Each structure stands twice: as structure tokens, then as C-alpha cells.
Structure 1
Amino acid sequence: MAGGAAQPGAELLAFAGFLDSSPQPLAYGYGRRSLRELRAREFSRLAGTVYLDHAGATLFPQSQLTNFTKDLMENVYGNPHSQNISSKLTHDTVEQVRYRILAHFHTSPEDYTVIFTAGSTAALKLVAEAFPWVSPGPESSGSWFCYLTDSHTSVVGMRKITAAMNVTSIPIRPEDMWSVEKQDAAAAGNQDCQPPHLFCYPAQSNFSGTRYPLSWIEEVKSGHTRPMSVPGKWFVLLDAAAYVGTSPLDLSVHQADFVPISFYKIFGFPTGLGALLVNNRSAPLLRKTYFGGGTAAAYLAGDDFYIPRESVAERFEDGTISFLDIIALKHGFDALEHLTGGMENVRQHTFTLARYTYAALSALRYPNGAPVVRIYSDSEFSSPEVQGPVISFNVLDDHGRIIGYSQVDKMASLYNIHVRTGCFCNTGACQRHLGISDEMVKKHLQAGHVCGDDVDLIDGQPTGSVRISFGYMSTLEDAQAFLRFIIATHLCPPHGQQLPLATPGEAGAPPTGSEAQDAVPAIVATRSPSPQEDAPPDARVWNNSLTTVHAVGLCPPLLEATGTQLTPSEKAAGVPDGDLGSRVITNLYIYPIKSCAAFEVTRWPLGNQGLLYDRSWMVVNHNGICLSQKQEPRLCLIQPFIDLQRRIMVIQARGMEPIEVPLEENSERAQICQSKVCADRVNTYDCGEKISSWLSKFFGRPCHLIKQSSDFQRSARRKHGKDQPACTTAALSLVNEAQYLLVNRSSVLELQQQLSTSSDENGKEELFPMKDLISRFRANIITNGTRAFEEENWDEVSIGSLRFQVLGPCHRCQMICIDQQTGQRNKDIFQKLSERQERQVNFGVYLMHTALDSSSPCYLSVGSQVLPMLKENTEHDDLSASEKHQDVIS
């Protein structure tokens, strides 16, 4: 970790004092342009949100979108390959945008050409395919492709194209470039007579924010510095995609041969549009193989005759360019200049925020003096020349052990803070900073970890990190809200006292009277959640021709904190009062509509996908995207009830008239549609306009209810670290992971006691009754148990004649923080679980039934005995030696 002075305590670094103590001038904001007014006017959608992923994609201002839309509404833009008036307007406008791009980078059409591409990745691929590589031969060692290991995946991927031509690829570490010795250019010999070589490096690392010297461009090209001692002429590709979003680039001084960029990194909109800026002295070397529409001056369809257009841009822009998106760039440049005054102001502002946050993070210490974070950086954030507004780090516990980035990401989401986690498509930098060897990368792959997943720790070692990055509209409040989040979740005082975050606009937020304000103390008052709205109990009995299914309502009284008080359903099922010696099912829940309220029953049939009708429906938005409580917490207020005899589902919500939906689709009238659940594409049908109107009225936006098609089979893909029997394929409904979720009441009780202790010590009244906690975990099967979290060591479970395989733990997200009776969020539960567990926040276990006799109906019932089997190699501190060797827990 790049150091900062240790400052014990949980108060933020005073911003005014930070500015005064800086050895060099720092600038926050844009002079007389009020940053607070800018945020309110141009980025009102950020209210209550702390967005810190500008290196991933910055955000577009309202005025850019408004002016672009107005432009399209007032003008007719035709295909630029035509010759009519509207097409001529498009052509001239696009050419003006090309000029505007070059002016932004301090150059002109005399020196550079703009080739529009689908993004920086497409620009890199273009160079790889068109560069005049020379294969090795008797008289030449051929071309070399050299790239800095701290490069984006898209740069490293160029080597696959060069490999097909037998061109040597050489990865170069940053430390090797920094330590390379300069040589006399004359000693390099006549470069023009030698094969061409290409050196690629990023102007700014997208992993750590390190800014590499732009002087390397001229040093490599002139022969004063060589990545490798090899005869030939060197060309330089400067990957500027991450750099130009927050910094000016002067191509009149730093004349790289090829410069790929992506415009959404600068403006936020449009996406899917980039450019390759080509030095006109290097452009004639590029070779074209494929030619598409608009690139040919002449060609024959029946003979191998093709003459390319003279313009370099037209020669390489295959097909019709994305001309409307290009026109949007004009409004992007206008807005950026108007709002900030130029890229130099952006560079100073974003660096000031990054340096302040770096200094504050570096100073955070646990009471024992251990650092709270480990920052991965090659600089001390000394100047914007060497460091961009990016901070990559991992959070540590007070023993110096890394807390997985996935857990940090989930906690940040609870505070509505948007960060990026993983390796950020930069494996080379990730390996170097985290100390991950090549062998470890392969081992991680064998363990099931792939780029972009949430597997953050393997054998205690991190697979990636957390990254925050600032943009031109970022504010001091954003930085301080993030710092308060780190303090609140990791610098809790003894005895469980919490340090809650206050985000801008909420009670306890920093003062808003001055933009360059001093930080307020991190300890702020805790706000009590809204009073719970107790839903009225609704007892119903549904009579089926096969069985009597008892439904006991949505919110029955569950076991209280003592663990001995029974619900009416438990008493009706014959559960002995106070008898917790044997494990039995105490509650059964189905969730007919995904993410909506539970429907509690005492006896319920099993289907091939789990409990019958469990997660058979889901609510989708106008684009067909599944809604969950993470995006729409009010889903928990939708209460479904199933009447098996009448073959209907009754849906109700406060303030709405109940509505009925048939349990099965009408195959003749069903409108088939597709949606996705956990990356699985599923066939569904729309339940009709009547229920759609009902849901749209409740949520205040267009929604539809869809049901999984009865003839569609969805199979479980994830193994939860465990091999499923080859003969068993689990069929799934619209659940995320598995057919059943089981929660142990003893585990809930322990969590409740921990939360109660924290509440008592803080002088707060009890906020988490047992029924509230159980409902948050949205399990199907609730059992009693003799030991908290013993279910994590179960291998199989027998319930009556049914056997269930335990697939593994349920990795929890921020949904457990939502009160299922009110839709209000409370962060304490997730934080308390994260304190208990070093890696994933787990609670409950997934089950799959290993055998289901379809010839006769099967049921689960409250009061049924639960017989778990231990894993063979389980270790549990609370188990005696004899208990560890028992196969069945009785």
C-alpha cells in the first residue's frame, strides 16, 4: 500500500486543511461555474446516488441529450453515401465533427485522420489487421509486437492476429520500461530498411490510474529507447481510451502513430462509437484486405479488381457509419466546453478529488493501528501527470486479511454507491499489483473463477480489487459519502456501535453551504426505520381433490426470540410446544410471483421444479426485463394467494382491488415471449392486459406479469462447488439458483441476538422481531435446529420419504435488508452477517430433490421430521468427536 500518515480515529480528513497543506496548487470545481448547480441542472438523476465508475463509463449531461434530440427533430439527416440534399447535410456535419475531434486533441487534418469505429476495441483490431507485419524469413527476423503488460484485454488480444502471421509478441513489464537505458539513435542503424515493429501502451492504466510517460512515444520511435534490442522501425500505438476522459491530450506534441479512443468515456453518450486517430505519415502503411460498402472507388463483381478510395477514413470505414451518433458528438463537445471550460479544468478537478480520497483512505486505521485498505498504485498521487482519478484497492480486516471485493460491492450497493470490482479487463496489472502468478490464474480458472464473476477470494487470496473513479461532474460530497461508507462498515467502535452513512440529501449528510467544505465527523445519528405496517392476517383453506392444503396467511406470528413460541400453523400441525430437541419443519412458504410476498402454507404439493407454483410468475418492465426488489422494493407489498380448487391466483395489495389470474395458460390465446433469469433465457407467456394494467397502476410505470411456459424446461447450471449426480438434472422454475431454500431457525435466532445486543448498547429499541428476520431470507423451508449454522455442514436432508441434496450455501445480496412488510431498507442485517463471515455473506442452504415419484403426489408439511446427514469431512468447533463421525444427526 502506498502510504499516508496513520491517523487513528473515525473522522474524515478536513478538505480545506487538505487543500492548504498540499505542496502544489489544487483546484476543485470550475471557477464561477457552480458545481452544485451543474449537478442539479444536468445530473438530477444522480440525486441520492454516489456514482464512482467513471472509468467504466462517464455520464452524459441533460443538455447534451436535449440539444441532440432537438437537432434530430429539426433536421433531416440522410445516408451520407447518397447525393441528395439531406445526405449532403449529413456528410458535411460528419466532416465538421471530424475536425472538432482533431481540434480537441490539438491537431488538424494535415497531421491526423479520424477513422470512426465501433469503439476503441474495434480500433485496436483494425490496427492489428492492417499493420504491415513482416513474417520471419531467411533474411529477417520479422516484425515484433510489443505491449505493456498493464494493458487492456483488447490490446493483449491483438497478439492472436499477429500469431497467425508468425509475428513475435513480447509482453513488457512497466518496471522494465522505467529502467530501460537510453541509447544513441545513430547506433540503431538505418531503421527504414528494417521490418516495422509496433509498441502499444496505455496513456493511463485502467486498473490503477497510473499515467505512463507520453515521452515514451518519441523515445521509442526515434530509437533512443527500445523496448527490445531489435533492428527495425518502431511505430507506437497509444491506447488513450481511459486517459482522455479526464485529461487533455496534445497530439501536436506527442505524435503517436495510432490513437484509439471511445467517446462514451468522454461524454457518456453515445455508446458503441469510437475512433482510430491515425498519424498521416503512418497511414499509407496500413493494408486493407476486406472492403465494404462506401470504401471502394471501383471494383468488379466478376473479377478480382478493386480500387480503394483515396481518403484514409473512407477506405477503412466499411459500410454506413453511425452518422446520427457522430452528430451527437458535436453536442457532447459543446456541453463539455460549456460546463467545464475545457479538459485541463477537468484534469485538475478530478485529480483533486482523487488525491483527497487517496489521502483520507491511506490515513484510515483500525484501533490496533492496522490499515483499513490496501491501495494499488505506482504513484503517491503527487500530480495529474503521473496519476489519473482512479483508486484501486482492497479492504482489509483488523488482522490484515483481505475482505472480498464482492462483499464490499454488495455493501456499497446498500448505500447506493456504484463502484467497479474485479480485474477491470486488465489481467496483467491485476497480477502485478495483487501478486497473482500465472499458475494461480490457471488454478483459479480450474476452481471455477472466470473474468467478471463474483468469486473474489480463493484460498484466502484475492482475485481482484475494488475500483473507484471520478468524472468531471463528481463532487466532494461523492468522495466523502464513499469515505463514510468505508468508515461505517469497517471502523465500528467496540461493542457493536454502528457508524451509519449519510448520503447527500439524507439526514446526517455533510453541510451544503460551501462546495469546498470541511468534512463533518463520521459519527452521525442513526435514523429509525419507518414503523412497520402489519398486514392483516388472512386465513384460508384451499380444498384440492387430492389433499387439503392449508394456507395460513401472509404474515402469521412466527417464533419469538426465545425460539419456543409457535405459530398457529405449527400448533395445527402438531409441533410440540417448546420441543426443539428434534428437527422439524416449522414453516413452509411459496413465492408464486418472483420477488413478491410469501404465501405461507402448512401442507403443499411438490412439482418437478420445487414446491408447486413456487416462482412460476414474475413481473417485468416495459422492455421485458425481470424486476426484483433490488430495483423495486415495493414488490414485497404484492401479496399472491393460490386457490388450487378454483385454479386461480388471487393478487392483492393495499389500496388496490384484488385481482384473479388463472393458474394455467390458455394455449390458444397465450402470447409467448422470452425473458431472462440469471442469464438463462426462458420461454414465458404474458398473463394479459388486465393484470398488466393493475401492476402498472400500482408501480406507476408500465409492467407485465409473465409465467414460465409449461412446456419449457430450465435446468440448473451452477453446482455450488459440488458435483451433482450424473443421473440427476434439476428442473428449475424462475428461481435464481435452486429448487428449494432452507433456513435454520437457530441461525436466525443467533443473528437476532447479535442485532439485539447492538441495539441495546446503542440505546435503541428492538427493531428485528423473529418474524421480520425470517421473512427477509425468503426461504421455502424453515426448520428448528440444535445449533446455529449447523446447516452449512449438511450434505443431504431427509424429510419423510423424500431425500434432498444440499447444493451449498445461499450467497446473500442486499435484498435481505428490505423489510418485507414495508419495503423499507435497513443495512444492519447485511453488515452483521458480513462481520461474522470472512468471505461470502451466506445464510441458508439450497436443496434439490434427488428423487420424485411422479406416479403419486408428494407433499411437504409443517411438523414433518427433518433428518440431515453431515458432510464426510466436516469440521465444526461445536461438535464433539463422536458427533463428527455420525453419519446421521438424530
Structure 2
Amino acid sequence: MIDTLRRSDYTRLSRTLPNLSKETETYVDYMGGSLYPESLIRAHTKYLTSNVLGNTHSISASSQRSLKQVEEARMAVLKFFDAPQSYTVVFTPNASGALKLVGEAYQFSRGDSFILCEDSHNSVNGIREFARRGEASVVYIPAGGQASQEGAFNLNEAKEALLINKPPQGTSSLFAPTGLSNITNAKCPGGDNSIVTFARSLGYHTLLDAAALAPTSRISLAQIPVDALVVSFYKMFGFPTGIGALVIRKGFLRMLKSGRPWFSGGTVDVVQVPGKVYTMKGVGDGTINYLLLPAITSGLQLLSTDDLPYLPLRLNCLLHHLITEISQIRHHGQDGDMKEGSRVCRVLSRKPKKTLKSPGETDDETGAIIACVFLSEAGEPFPLSFIAHSAAQEGISLRTGCMCNPGGAAALLGIQGSMKDVEEGGLMREELGVVRISLGLGSDWSDVWRVLQWARKLSDARERREMWRRWLETDNRG
């Protein structure tokens, strides 16, 4: 079924690349952004050319048509995330915009705490500035180390941190776990050991960063009762960019409204001008993206088809195969000497321990990400810019760097200690980070095969010298 979807909706991956002799393009950066299914674009284009849509802040026919689409999109989001009636949806520019809304509206004050993981995206890290402005404590749950391998946090350490910083009665503290790390491939513990349930039992408000988790995992807010979760839809089904969502408990939303004094068009009913009086009617930032919201409904319908239960099974198989094969590739000797040497690739991120065997099964510990480093014959990491260039020359789209997750990258590389040396105004070193290969809805076996073929070229001394020469010429490093 997934193969059929690949053939029908990702035909552009089989077209010859411009300026390259490659017959196909290999896309393995689904954490950066999912590829949009072509049927979604066709359906949305047909809808736009068949309807007149107006700004929702009116009672005209075109405005009411837009408003109806907005409500349908909101209901589709609530249904997709299995949200009880106590939840509602605030549409935002992206997951980062949703996190910012919570951070700036949360009423941090002295004695409160903001608890987050070292392996958090920078959009979560940014909330700490709102916490510090309110004189609240900022507490990081450690990632990596002896107690927790592959960059993830240890559940017992996390519970201890939450207990130590338990909000006193009458105060308010926020815990922001990451559903799936975009670099370490570690999922937040769920089920009976849910860190969210534990935190809520201690009185924390909970904010789940689900941007990396939602594209390949079903999330039920009936089972994981966070106060709010954030997503970006382009990471789920590729189109449209520029729309995310804050799925939030209505009671928690009311608390945020009272903590956010700023208002804008569309979020306020009455404003006294000049004066101080205003009446809020919502949370957000101006006019909603009403032309693109119908695509959200269509995209969620696509992810709700019978194909999705097969996706975790497919990705689990692909990931097992890719990790097994790439870990076995060894350097060849110079000039045709085929004696095996040191390994070419070292996988740093969490590896799947569970082998899925039937549709509907899920892996509660890992996603579909590999974070790794490619090594020279001497065991030294190749420059990330060289790896990115050589992959691009083979028609492979992947990601290098820290992935906006410096804590996770530091944990994977074992350089947490160097974080204390970072200075105000400092810049990220160009070659600091890892190589990320991430799979998603459109991935198939041919993608994995081409990545492995490229990695085997890196193991061949002659091929590697040619790659190095082209990189030096292109980058003017020669």
C-alpha cells in the first residue's frame, strides 16, 4: 500500500535531476519537512479555483465559506489527535509559533519552574527566556551519560528532577517534554511509565513538543492528557508550510489569555481608542491563513486512511536494514587494495530494539531517524560540509549540523562539558554536529539502497578522492 502511494503521489522523485546525471532524487530529510503528496496539491488547487474565499472577519458569503473551512480544519485536528471535548485548537504559523504563544502568555513568577530536557529543540529552549523574565527557575533534565544512552533522558532522573522542583501549592510550573527528538531518535516514555502523567500528578502544566512525533505516530490526547501539544503540518504531510497548531485544554487556554496582554486584529472585539479598555475574543496573531486551511483537512484525511497503520512497520523495517548495513561498511585500502579497514559510519542515535511484525504495531522508544558521523580511515570525522556536498552530488537530500538541537547534538557527541564554555554572542562552529538521515511517508527501499551505495563510495579510496576533489573545487578550499 505504501509502495502504491509512492508511485502515485511522489512521481517527482523518479525524474532526472537538473545538472546531474542521476535518474532519481533521494529524499531522506523528512524531519526537516515531509514531501507533499501530489494528490493533495491537485485537490487543493481544484478547491481554490472553484470557490471564492474571503477574510473570516466578515458576514459575507465568501467570509462565511472561509469560516466554515476553518471550523472543519479545527474539527479535523481534534479528531486526528483523539482530543476530548475539553480541548480546542489555535492555529499558528508553525510549531515554534505555538510554543512562543505559550511561553509569552504563561504567568511565570518567582518560585515557579520551567522544566525541559537537554535534548530539546531550540524553540522549546527559547521559552526559558520568558521564564527567566518572570524570575522562575529553569531546570534541564540531563541527556546522555552513563544513566541514559544515545542522548535520551533517563526516566528515573526525569522523575527525580520533577519531584525536586515540584510546584508548591498555589504556584504554577511548566514541564515541556519532547515527543520524539529530531536528532537522538528517542521518544518520550509513554504508556504506564508516562512522564506526562507523572508530571501532571505533581501539579505541573504540561506542554508536549510533538513536531517530530506526529508525522509517523498516532497521538491520542485521551491517553496522553497533556495540557497542550504543538505541531507543524508541513512536517506531517508537506503542504502547506506556514501553518501549525496549538492543541490545548480550554481551561489552560483561559489561563494563557489572562497572561497575554497583547492583542491584534481578529483576537479582540472592542478596543477603546484612545484609552485602556479592550475585550479579548481569542488567542493568536492577526488574520488566520484561511486560503490554506482546507489543505489541513485534506492532509489529515490522507494520514487517516488505511495506509497509516502500515507506516510504522515500513519505517521500522527500513531503519533496521539501513543501520545494520551502514554499520558494516568498512574502508577499502588504497588503489584497489580490498582489505577491509576501519568502519565508515558510526550511528550515534537510539537504535530500534523492537522489530515490528504486523500493521498497527508501534515502537514506543524510537522514530525513523539516524544521526551519525562518517569517519576517515584514521577514525576522524569527515567535515560535515564535505559529507553534505558528496551526498548532494549523488542526488541525496539529507541534513548536517546540530538540527536546532544543541543539547541533543552535544549528548550524542559526548561534548556536554564544552557547553559551559559557550559565551554570549558566540557563533556555532561550522563543523560541529552530526549527519541526519530521516525517513517518512514517501520513503521506500530504493531510498535506503541509494544511501548505502553512496556510503560504499565513501569507503572506496579512489571514489573518495574524487569526491574530495570536487568538494574542494566547489567550495574554493583548494
Shorter-chain TM-score range: 0.7 to 0.9
Q: In 2, distance between residues paired with 1:190 and 1:845?
A: 55
Out of 295, 302, 310, the position equivalent to 2:267 is: 295
Please say if residues 120 and 274 of structure 1, whose CA atoms lie closer than 8 Å, have aligned partners that are also in contact.
yes
Residues 717-756 of structure 1: pairs in structure 2 closer than 5 A = none
Q: In 2, distance between residues paired with 1:192 and 1:432?
A: 32
For 1:116, the equivalent position in structure 2 comes to 91
Unmatched tracts of structure 2, length 5 or more: 15-23, 332-338, 356-362
Fraction of identical pairs, as percent = 29
Out of 126, 137, 142, the position equivalent to 2:101 is: 126
Please say if residues 99 and 123 of structure 2, whose CA atoms lie closer than 8 Å, have aligned partners that are also in contact.
yes
Unmatched tracts of structure 1, length 5 or more: 1-29, 137-141, 224-232, 310-314, 457-462, 499-827, 835-839, 848-890
Aligned pair 1:107/2:83, yes or no? Answer: yes
Out of 148, 154, 159, the position equivalent to 2:123 is: 154
For 1:260, the equivalent position in structure 2 comes to 230
For 1:417, the equivalent position in structure 2 comes to 396
- Are residues 347 and 190 of structure 1, via their aligned partners in 2, closer, same or farther at CA, if it must alter by over 3 Å? closer
CA apart distance, 1:373: 1.0
Aligned pair 1:351/2:316, yes or no? Answer: yes
CA apart distance, 1:829: 6.6
Q: In 2, distance between residues paired with 1:418 and 1:449?
A: 25
Q: In 1, distance between residues paired with 2:165 and 2:48?
A: 56
CA apart distance, 1:397: 1.9
Aligned pair 1:270/2:252, yes or no? Answer: no
Out of 458, 472, 475, the position equivalent to 1:841 is: 472
Q: In 1, distance between residues paired with 2:399 and 2:342?
A: 25
Aligned pair 1:38/2:5, yes or no? Answer: yes
Q: In 2, distance between residues paired with 1:334 and 1:120?
A: 20
Residues 54-453 of structure 1: pairs in structure 2 closer than 5 A = 54-108=30-84, 110-133=85-108, 135-136=109-110, 142-174=111-143, 175=148, 177-180=154-157, 193-214=169-190, 215-223=194-202, 233-286=203-256, 287-309=259-281, 315-338=282-305, 341-366=306-331, 367-368=339-340, 370-382=342-354, 384-437=363-416, 439=418, 442=421, 450=428
- Are residues 343 and 205 of structure 1, via their aligned partners in 2, closer, same or farther at CA, if it must alter by over 3 Å? same
CA apart distance, 1:302: 2.4
Q: In 1, distance between residues paired with 2:424 and 2:323?
A: 32
Q: In 1, distance between residues paired with 2:477 and 2:446?
A: 41
CA apart distance, 1:334: 3.1
Q: In 2, distance between residues paired with 1:205 and 1:189?
A: 23
Tell me the amino acid that sits aligned with residue 112 of structure 1: Y
- Are residues 235 and 343 of structure 1, via their aligned partners in 2, closer, same or farther at CA, if it must alter by over 3 Å? farther
Please say if residues 119 and 272 of structure 1, whose CA atoms lie closer than 8 Å, have aligned partners that are also in contact.
yes
Measured on the aligned residues, the alpha-carbon RMSD in Å equals: 2.8
Q: In 1, distance between residues paired with 2:101 and 2:271?
A: 22
For 2:17, the equivalent position in structure 1 comes to none
For 2:20, the equivalent position in structure 1 comes to none
CA apart distance, 1:67: 0.5
2:435 alignment partner, SS class: strand
CA apart distance, 1:111: 2.2
Q: Which has the higher contact order (CA 8 A, sep 6+)?
A: 2
Q: What do the CA deviations read for 1:731-759 (whole angstroms, capped 9, x no partner)?
A: xxxxxxxxxxxxxxxxxxxxxxxxxxxxx
- Are residues 117 and 832 of structure 1, via their aligned partners in 2, closer, same or farther at CA, if it must alter by over 3 Å? closer
Q: In 2, distance between residues paired with 1:424 and 1:342?
A: 29
1:317 alignment partner, SS class: coil
CA apart distance, 1:179: 2.8
- Are residues 342 and 444 of structure 1, via their aligned partners in 2, closer, same or farther at CA, if it must alter by over 3 Å? farther
Structure 1 stretches of at least 4 aligned residues deviating more than 4 Å after TM superposition: 187-192, 440-446, 842-847
1:402 alignment partner, SS class: coil
Q: In 1, distance between residues paired with 2:322 and 2:328?
A: 10
Return the index of the structure with the highest Cα Rg: 1
Please say if residues 330 and 459 of structure 2, whose CA atoms lie closer than 8 Å, have aligned partners that are also in contact.
no
CA apart distance, 1:844: 10
Q: In 2, distance between residues paired with 1:43 and 1:190?
A: 49
Q: TM-score, normalised by structure 2?
A: 0.85
2:374 alignment partner, SS class: strand
Q: In 2, distance between residues paired with 1:375 and 1:274?
A: 31
Q: In 1, distance between residues paired with 2:268 and 2:131?
A: 26
Q: In 2, distance between residues paired with 1:376 and 1:438?
A: 18
Q: In 1, distance between residues paired with 2:250 and 2:308?
A: 25
CA apart distance, 1:60: 0.5
Please say if residues 141 and 157 of structure 2, whose CA atoms lie closer than 8 Å, have aligned partners that are also in contact.
no
Please say if residues 255 and 279 of structure 1, whose CA atoms lie closer than 8 Å, have aligned partners that are also in contact.
no
Q: In 2, distance between residues paired with 1:180 and 1:159?
A: 20
Q: What do the CA deviations read for 1:503-530 (whole angstroms, capped 9, x no partner)?
A: xxxxxxxxxxxxxxxxxxxxxxxxxxxx
Q: In 1, distance between residues paired with 2:280 and 2:315?
A: 44
Q: In 2, distance between residues paired with 1:119 and 1:181?
A: 28
- Are residues 103 and 192 of structure 1, via their aligned partners in 2, closer, same or farther at CA, if it must alter by over 3 Å? farther
Tell me the amino acid that sits aligned with residue 831 of structure 1: M
Q: What do the CA deviations read for 1:588-645 (whole angstroms, capped 9, x no partner)?
A: xxxxxxxxxxxxxxxxxxxxxxxxxxxxxxxxxxxxxxxxxxxxxxxxxxxxxxxxxx
CA apart distance, 1:203: 0.5
CA apart distance, 1:188: 9.8
- Are residues 189 and 63 of structure 1, via their aligned partners in 2, closer, same or farther at CA, if it must alter by over 3 Å? closer
- Are residues 107 and 831 of structure 1, via their aligned partners in 2, closer, same or farther at CA, if it must alter by over 3 Å? same
Please say if residues 248 and 344 of structure 1, whose CA atoms lie closer than 8 Å, have aligned partners that are also in contact.
no
Please say if residues 295 and 319 of structure 1, whose CA atoms lie closer than 8 Å, have aligned partners that are also in contact.
yes
- Are residues 431 and 477 of structure 1, via their aligned partners in 2, closer, same or farther at CA, if it must alter by over 3 Å? same
Please say if residues 346 and 375 of structure 2, whose CA atoms lie closer than 8 Å, have aligned partners that are also in contact.
yes
Greater strand fraction, Structure 1 or Structure 2: 1
Q: In 2, distance between residues paired with 1:426 and 1:254?
A: 24
Q: TM-score, normalised by structure 1?
A: 0.47
Q: In 1, distance between residues paired with 2:122 and 2:62?
A: 40
Please say if residues 107 and 134 of structure 2, whose CA atoms lie closer than 8 Å, have aligned partners that are also in contact.
no
Q: In 2, distance between residues paired with 1:88 and 1:222?
A: 42
Tell me the amino acid that sits aligned with residue 272 of structure 2: L
- Are residues 348 and 111 of structure 1, via their aligned partners in 2, closer, same or farther at CA, if it must alter by over 3 Å? farther
Q: In 1, distance between residues paired with 2:450 and 2:164?
A: 54
Number of positions where the alignment pairs a residue of Structure 1 with one of Structure 2? 441
Q: In 2, distance between residues paired with 1:219 and 1:844?
A: 51
CA apart distance, 1:38: 2.8
1:145 alignment partner, SS class: strand
Q: In 2, distance between residues paired with 1:440 and 1:105?
A: 37
Q: In 1, distance between residues paired with 2:221 and 2:122?
A: 24
Please say if residues 145 and 167 of structure 1, whose CA atoms lie closer than 8 Å, have aligned partners that are also in contact.
yes
CA apart distance, 1:301: 1.5
- Are residues 365 and 206 of structure 1, via their aligned partners in 2, closer, same or farther at CA, if it must alter by over 3 Å? same
1:316 alignment partner, SS class: coil
Q: What do the CA deviations read for 1:443-464 (whole angstroms, capped 9, x no partner)?
A: 7999x9537xxx32xxxxxx11
2:83 alignment partner, SS class: coil
